[in-house]
Structure 1
Amino acid sequence: MNQRIVSIINDLAPEGKISLDQLSQHYQISKRTLRNDINAINELLIDNGFCPITFDKGLVIRQSDFGRIMPFVPKQDLYSYRLSREERGSLAASILVSSSGFITLSMIADYLYVSRATIIKDMDLIKNILKDTGLELISYPNKGLWVQGAESLKRKFILGLIQKEQMFLTEDEKGKTKFVLQAGNAIVIRKIITEQEKLHGSHLTEESFHFITDYIRVMIQRNKQGEYVEPQGYGTVGKQYRMAQDILKFISQYCNILSTEDEVLFLANILEGVRYLKQKDFADGNTIKIQLLTRKLIENISDDLNINLNDDYDFYENLSNHLHSMFYNKTGYLPCEDSFQTIIQNNPEVLEAVQRCVSLFFPYIKRKVEQIELIYITIHICAAIERKKNKDVAFHVVLACNGGVGTSQLLLVRLKKHFNFKVVDIVSSHEAMLITPDQADLIITTVPLKDCLVQHIVVSPLLNDEDYIRVGSKIDTIRDSRHLPIRREKKEITVNSIIRTMLPVINKYLPEAERSCMEEIKLCLENYLGEKDTGDIFSPCLHHLLTADFILLDVECSDWREAVKRSGEILMRKGYIEEQYIDAMIHNIEENGPYVMISEGFAFPHEGLERGTLKLGMSLIRLKTPISFGNEEFDPVEFVCCLSAVDQKSHLKAFFHLVNMLQNQEFKRALREAVDTETMIAIIEHFEYRVD
């Protein structure tokens, strides 16, 4: 009987309801593993004449005689638990591999509560255990023992022991008998992985999710010991590479470690080897559809509440990711926090607007939308409103973080993106106690503070939408009670920020020469600041995708099918899509109707991520004669913009900008009047700077 099973028995001994979900989350294991553990407990119960554990609607049901099993349960510490030779060998090997320095025989013996002579007798076994995984135990005179071998093999060895329950990852050593690794905050790690699953459209199975979580915790532990994975050579920059890169970007910042390109490649290799759930929404082509409908939902909500939320990119990205759940009826992961009720009670008009506007999803999800889903949509909207409302109030803020410089800086970036804060200092939690009200208006902290002199608020290091709402509400309270003056913080100087600031002035005094003037100013700024606008490789802007080779003007088409085909052929000739993708786009419109019309006179055909897309790209054709797509509100169509998406995120900024630009009639008129592709490119770039 392993240590975890003993711990589960102790957790089940007290009376009260407990569910499989609670136990699974507490022990960070899958429900299948948990059921296997309970089967082992049942064997012990039955062998000793007691009633076995049963299940009822996810609850673990213990019989009245369950507590009488305790005298038959092994003790929980190594001192009173007699290890077998095989267990000693595995534990000794785990101590050696996990160490970042030399280990002596006496140190191993002391940890396992055995004699040094016993460990000497076990040495051949320990060497063989290590040898089987490609590692070698070396003895250095006057220093001790050292395990020689590749870091990747050491991590695989540690993971193997964790899978066999011969080693534990925990933040609390109390009650554990096996060798323990202190490694990372599991809650933060799981949130990061979950977020990247959604963004990259790669949903891990339950077992794979726990495996990746365990690996990252091992990696964090080893990195903090100064141990990094060996050179991995050159890898393919594919889907799993990008996912690994994004996971480690946030892990490095939140867990205060330094990652490397080799760490990314090694994690990508692990991600290639684990199992994923088949998501119907991706296979069926709903990803882009959801993003289109999300955009429409935001427009309708903005009109209903009479507040413009269309320009909040984070809001759009987060909400579209969340709304994927509505398309495959997966709401069990949505917990209802107590604080949600307060938010709903304080913002009833937002919930009512959501209830009125969400109906546009009904023809596609074909089921009843649950109340918890409406609440989550409401939370997203309330957060966007708070961000918009408080951009003009430059509070003096202190950040208090215990997660290191990386966590502090990322939290700072996220806060400053949506609030006009002047961050006067970044301190540890114990230093925050010394901050006085004359030094700061507010302390934003990731850990609870006691006896703090300044008003403060605790947020998650990930800074979710609930945090935005609570920060906004706190600002309102402080502002109303103290009548703080509006303060303006110095803005960051970039090429884009200068151009956005200058555009209205140039337009006022040099309207006819605006484009050429701004082009020259942009080149001068890029040379002076040493900054070139090339776009994020994973989130390019619209003008980075719609270059001269991807635009055709005055194309003749007989109907909408031919228009879709002609726009798709541009991408096919360039190697961005396969021919089947064009047929899939046409079939998509035939089956789902002309929802691809995103504005008057503008169609945006697309298909799913696995229907023949090869590279991220867009193409645009202007029709010589407008044609009908079957949408009375937006017909006839003058422009057809074809999208080839390769994941859930990389095209999102370009699409977001396009939809915002299409709300400007001046932009559409300029597209109609463009005499050549070069002019069209200049128009797109010019108007995109206005909305970015």
Structure 2
Amino acid sequence: MNRQTSKLLTILLNSPGQYFHYEELAARFHVSTRSIRNYVQSILEFLEDQNLQPVLSVSEGGIAFTGGAEESSLLLQAAVDNDFYLYRLSPEERSHIILLTLLISDDFCNIFELSEKFNVSRTTILKDMEQVKVFLSRYNISFDPAMNRGYLLRPTERQRRDMIMRIIQSAMGAVFSLHREVNIYERFLYDEWDLENYFPFLKQLLLDMEQQYELDVSDACFEELLLMLSIITVRLERGACIRESTLEEKTFQNLLVYELAGNILEVLGRRYHLAVSEAEIQYLASKLYYCRFYSRAPIENAQDVKLHMALTSFLMKISGEMDIPLYEDNKIVNQLESHLRDIDKAHAEGVPLENDYTEQMISEYPEYFQLICHHLPTLEATTGYTYTRDDIAVILIYLVVAVERHFKNDILPKVIVVCHTGIGTANFLAERLSTNFNIRIMAVTSNHKLPDIMKNYDFDLIISTITLSEPEELWVKVSPMLEDEDILRLQKLFMDIKKDKKRMNVQPRPRESMPGIRSVLREENILLDTPCGDWKSVIQRAAGPLLMSGSIDTSYIDAMIQSFETNGSYFVYCPGVALAHAGPGDGVHFFGLSLIRLKKPVPFGHRLHDPVSWCICLAIQEKDERIQYVLRLMDLLSNPRILREMDGIRDRKELLAYLLEKEREESYEQ
């Protein structure tokens, strides 16, 4: 069973009772219908080999999983059985598992052992090893020179662990999951190292840390951490420690992840009698950072500040053109922001995000796709990389969901049900329709009353058990029992109706010239050559204009200082520039923004961006569209050339005029 076959099996198991046409599956997998039939035959042979019940309904046109939860669990468990996979691996899968074998071994592996293990010839193993060498060359890793003894890798311990995780993640793209899809690499690692023996204790440890630190982590990240901690534990038990420093700027700024990593490893050390080094704490801290396994505060560091603001600006631009306040849907916004950080993590680790629905989503929602692409530079300027089509499709999915949530019943297909055999049959059909589809039944009627009903009700489609005299585009004929083929045909019709309604309701508005920095930064809120002795006085002086105007009260200043003391120097978002801020509920009365230039630079404790010469102070309430103009100001100040020219301006009126001119120049370039 190769990866494609296992993906088909997963699709069937996740949709019990749903009938899939071979053509539909072929389009989803980008293969021929013959290939799909071969996948199905492979699954059927597997069921027979394992003496499992025939829980697949197979016909000439398609297939469906007809079993229940128990059969699904048994089938999935059998499918991930190690012995089964070792005899049915594709060349790509076998190469990856050979590499895993080498990575988890601290001794030599020879050709004979590998050919016996995978039940293939020595020639096949030699071919596979060429693929393994290509993979290793990307990371400047080679085999031990004593090749007469077999194959032995000598990567650093960090490289070894990261590569093991990378191989396992490659089965899913960038999205990690232990159980949603058959992952043969993961199962192989479990069996070789008996990892599941560690899971009960490690799972409880992570749950305890969540509660103790009031943390928030997604299921996918939790499972990834569970696997990662089990790998760390096994390697430490074998005396394999990370010795090189793994200090990174991002994790350096976040003290909480260091404390959390230290506490986790301390507990592991006591439980399994492990010796833990500072380098191990640094390594785990970096992994915790990328898993977002820490405080629920939405903004944790300089990059998060910019991403949060860039996403808000991006959604406000999209909302403006659609005339829908998408940025007010907190659930969608928070989920999308979290997913963008996962994309950021994937790019940082070089693991491409795979999205099985990319082409389907883009073809079904081309207007939304073009709208996203038009405003994508707002996000890309912050992340520093170009989004792929798969990345954009993720954003597209959230956009579609947000639009549908906004319109709710407005996009539901409105249906009239017609049956000439009797009102009871019509009501029975209406009940079947309501059970199978999310639609609005406007009326249930007989044929002779239909003309009056059509005059009195707004509707999208007539569903009838008889042939009607109305224009064919208005009605569709179905069986009173609503057969499977009727359901499939109606699914397509209802999807098209929803799509057309969204197009009518959501047409991008003509782009108009938008207000900019002038609307958020007042001349009197610019202070030049302000004397400050330390970071605390910088925050206090920058907040002065906002306090004087009544935009904030003194509690907001206290909250900014407390935030800095708790989270470190994340205020400093680029060389020489800080963004002082706190939460909307920390004493903000209305929007306020100030900009100060210090008489002498002041250190904030940032490892790369110190000292600070300019400080923005921001007070903003939730859902304020002016945040996009603040982002424009932040972007201008992150340009070293512009900052140097601003240093030479002595008049605040002239400085504001200069910023507005630079803003206009950048808008023309875009």
Normalised by the length of structure 2, the TM-score is: 0.35
- Which structure has more helix as a fraction of its residues? 2
